[in-house]
Amino acid sequence: MSDFAAPIAQQIWDMKYRFKTAEGEPVDRDVTETWRRIARSLAEVEDDPVAWEDRFYNALKDFRYLPAGRIVAGAGTERSVTLFNCFVMGTIPDSLGGIFDMLREAALTMQQGGGIGYDFSTIRPKGAAVAGVGADASGPLSFMDVWDAMCRTIMSAGARRGAMMATLRCDHPDIEEFITAKRDPARLRNFNLSVLVTDAFMEAVGADGDWELTFDGKVYRTVKARALWDLIMRSTYDYAEPGVIFIDRINQRNNLYYAEEISATNPCGEQPLPPYGACLLGSINLARLVREPFEAAAEIDEAELDDLVATAVRMMDNVVDASKFPLPEQRDEAQAKRRIGLGVTGLADALLMLGLRYGSEEAARQTEDWLRRIARAAYLASAQLAAEKGPFPLFDAEAFLASETMQDMDDEVRRAVSKHGIRNALLTSIAPTGTISLFAGNVSSGIEPVFAYSYTRKVLQKDGTRTEEEVSDYAYDLYRKMHGEGPLPDHFVNAQELHPLEHVRMQAAAQKWVDSSISKTINCPEDISFEDFKDVYLEAWNTGCKGCTTYRPNPVTGSVLSVEEKETPKSDPGEVVYIAEPIDRPEVVEGQTYKIKWPNSEHAIYITINDIVVGGRRRPFEVFINSKNMEHFAWTVALTRMISAVFRRGGDVSFVVEELKAVFDPRGGAWMEGKYIPSILAAIGGVIEKHLINIGFLDGEGLGLKEDPAALRVNDAAPGPACPNCGAFEMRMQEGCLTCGNCGYSKCG
């Protein structure tokens, strides 16, 4: 069936994946034309393109195989775009010229919409001598600030929102500053941060040993390994960053251990990549492959799965030749190794259809079986492609067969690779699939559990209005159609009902047969103890995971918000003066100046509020707003004049506070002094409110206002802070990235 399984799927297609002209006129008349466009484009490199086009089309048309969104949107459009999702950039030289050469490459890649990863461990630490100039180095964090500003500039120029990953080794002298960088809410907002944790460090943590912080052979300081580990844990416990990457495990289990060294990942962490490495992604939709769902005989047909995987591998291999690349180095790297990342989505839905509870030992065993089957089929298909088209250029039979992945494969796979070679150096990865999962009818995303079985989503219509519609999980909706209303079976669990170690169990089960890595979020309850939280990471380490990302809701990361009804005390703003003509300005007025440092803005905003005395009471008379940021000039002048005009008319002017505090910026707000402020204008409203309280015009925050926007909350089911795109309180950590459950916005692009 090629029809959409849910209205949300059609909306996602029309908004993100449907090919349209530059003027917005549709070229793809329906989704079957989208499938045909992709199939035709990827079959063009084949000797018999017509035959392969039909096979590719059949894999796509039932949403059984889902290429990554970049492929769905770009293949066959004749546009000069990359079909690769994310990149790890080149090694950063420890020189000023080399650093800014890398910055330029990053800007060019992000201009085409590519997310990027960088290892900043190659930059000398803060305070180290810079030979020849008589100066001290500013350290990697200072240059990360430069990258962050570049990303912000690219975004403001109207390009697709970028995402960046920054890594730093656990033995770098500036590691403590790196770990705590996100405690400043204004800093590095366009970066995800992860610490590269080595085996030696984990052994030192276990032994409570010393740990040397070194650079270029010089020991700068010695710390206690366990204290440094606790610093990482405390920061991610309180701020959800940094993540942890077990870098030695990644390199040891890398099929290309003999040809490359990995020190960074793409922004969501599922693709550890060498310098200039690119990730090419696609997912098998397990939810669409289950036969006789919710029945005793429910199963996935293994022969169908094998055939689908083989077709998907061939399609993805063709993308390497069909895609454009931002940089020639990225093209050369991709073609030398032909790395692909075939994964899955809809895992939790497929488990539901088989009657298995996500997180249970039985579900973990089934997950491991499916992923083993997919890996085996992918390696056999790639070996067959090598027999037909040749192995990847850097293939070394002896070294490749000695890799840990190949040692785990059965004899048939090893014989095939030994005989023919293999077309793709690495083949499997589990990436974030939030948007393509919605496109496929809202199947569960990647290997994540179902977050919510149904929820209300606001949909922006063409006329600018918003409508609400119910969105249901694919498996849940199917179960209701088959069995009607009533209590759900016990094995229907969601992400919040799982113990964190059950999340780890599922990640570890999948990782055994994934040669790259996995994007997965381990949800932790807000009240989890710090010691139990640390155990999550140790369990991930002990069970073979390549990294760990957790999310614990709290006042900083965004907790569940709820409506609180409470009596609001009335406030007498003093003797209110109602007049038709504005009050004349005295020669001398008294006032105060306040400073706002808004995150992601280079310059502070200064707000001066002057007062007069009327009827024996002090009241606001005029406002001046100033900033060196010329982007703010026009609106700050307009705001100054309008607010001042209102103040000079007299009366109860507290509504100005209400209106400003309610303004939402779709680009995102900020956490300031422990509170989420939805816009700069809301911050200005808060300053004016603070001033009115100081002069006695208002009795307290929110008091005397008809409605205090800062006190408004959404219902108990809301999982997080406000979305910077649509404003819904639906931001939640999913597959290693903050994602909006309402509009699909993702922090990682």
Q: Report the pLDDT value the prediction gives residue 102, as an integer from 0 to 100.
A: 95
pLDDT digits (tens, 9 = 90+) for 613-669: 876 678 888 898 888 776 677 778 888 888 888 888 777 777 888 888 878 776 667
How far, in Å, CA of 67 to CA of 312, rounded?
8
The amino acid occupying position 424 is N
The amino acid occupying position 475 is A
What lies within 8 Å, CB to CB, of 389 at 6+ separation is 423
Q: Report the pLDDT value the prediction gives residue 557, as an integer from 0 to 100.
A: 65
Cα dist. 8→27, 355, 368, 456, 746 in Å? 20, 26, 31, 11, 17
Rg (the chain; Cα; Å): 28
Closest by CA to 311, choosing from 60, 562, 595, is 60
Q: Report the pLDDT value the prediction gives residue 674, as an integer from 0 to 100.
A: 65
How far, in Å, CA of 294 to CA of 470, rounded?
23
pLDDT digits (tens, 9 = 90+) for 438-469: 999 999 999 999 988 988 776 666 555 667 77
Other CB atoms within 10 A of residue 637 CB: 13
Q: Report the pLDDT value the prediction gives residue 569, as an integer from 0 to 100.
A: 38
Domain 86-262+524-551: state its class: alpha beta
User: Does the CA dihedral 267-270-272-277 come out positive or negative?
Assistant: negative
Q: How confident is the model at residue 276 (pLDDT cuts 50, 70, 90)?
A: very high
Closest by CA to 479, choosing from 363, 360, 367, 349, is 349
Q: Report the pLDDT value the prediction gives residue 583, as an integer from 0 to 100.
A: 67
How far, in Å, CA of 417 to CA of 406, rounded?
9
Check residue 190 and report its DSSP letter.
T
Burial tier of 217 (Cβ tally within 10 Å: 0-12, 13-18, 19+) = exposed
pLDDT digits (tens, 9 = 90+) for 148-169: 888 877 754 444 556 899 999 9
Other CB atoms within 10 A of residue 655 CB: 13
How far, in Å, CA of 191 to CA of 208, rounded?
31
Using DSSP bridges, classify how beta strands 272-273 and 264-265 pair: parallel, antiparallel or unpaired. Answer: antiparallel
Which DSSP helix (H) or strand (E) runs through 165? strand 164-169
Q: Is the pLDDT of residue 567 over 50?
A: no
Indicate the average pLDDT of the chain. Answer: 87
- N-terminal to C-terminal alpha carbon distance within the chain: 30
| Structure-block tokens of residue 328 | 């020639």
Using DSSP bridges, classify how beta strands 281-285 and 65-67 pair: parallel, antiparallel or unpaired. Answer: antiparallel
| Structure-block tokens of residue 662 | 């309610």
More confident: 611 or 245: 245
Using DSSP bridges, classify how beta strands 617-627 and 605-614 pair: parallel, antiparallel or unpaired. Answer: antiparallel
Check residue 135 and report its DSSP letter.
E
Q: What is the mean pLDDT of residues 502-523?
A: 96
Q: What is the mean pLDDT of residues 709-737?
A: 57
Closest by CA to 523, choosing from 542, 509, 539, 503, is 503
Of 429-433, 665-669, 720-724, the poorest mean pLDDT is in 720-724
pLDDT digits (tens, 9 = 90+) for 78-114: 887 889 888 999 999 999 999 999 999 998 888 777 7
Q: Is the pLDDT of residue 483 over 90?
A: yes
User: Phi/psi of residue 225, each to 5°?
Assistant: -60, -40
How far, in Å, CA of 261 to CA of 264, rounded?
10
Classified as helix, coil or strand, 57 is helix
| Beta carbons of 92 and 102 less than 8 angstroms apart | yes
Q: Which residues are catalytic?
A: 266, 268, 270
> CATH 3.20.70.20 spans which residues of the chain?
86-262+524-551
Closest by CA to 247, choosing from 191, 183, 202, is 202
Q: What is the mean pLDDT of residues 251-274?
A: 96
Dihedral angle at the C-alpha atoms of 39, 40, 45, 47, nearest 10 degrees? Answer: 100
Q: Report the pLDDT value the prediction gives residue 40, as an integer from 0 to 100.
A: 97
Q: What is the mean pLDDT of residues 663-689?
A: 79
Q: What is the mean pLDDT of residues 514-534?
A: 95
What lies within 8 Å, CB to CB, of 502 at 6+ separation is 358, 359, 360
Looking at the DSSP bridge assignments, the partners of residue 622 are: 610
Q: Report the pLDDT value the prediction gives residue 577, as an integer from 0 to 100.
A: 41
Q: What is the mean pLDDT of residues 275-294?
A: 95
Q: Is the pLDDT of residue 718 over 60?
A: no
In the block, which residue shows the tokens 């949403």? 63
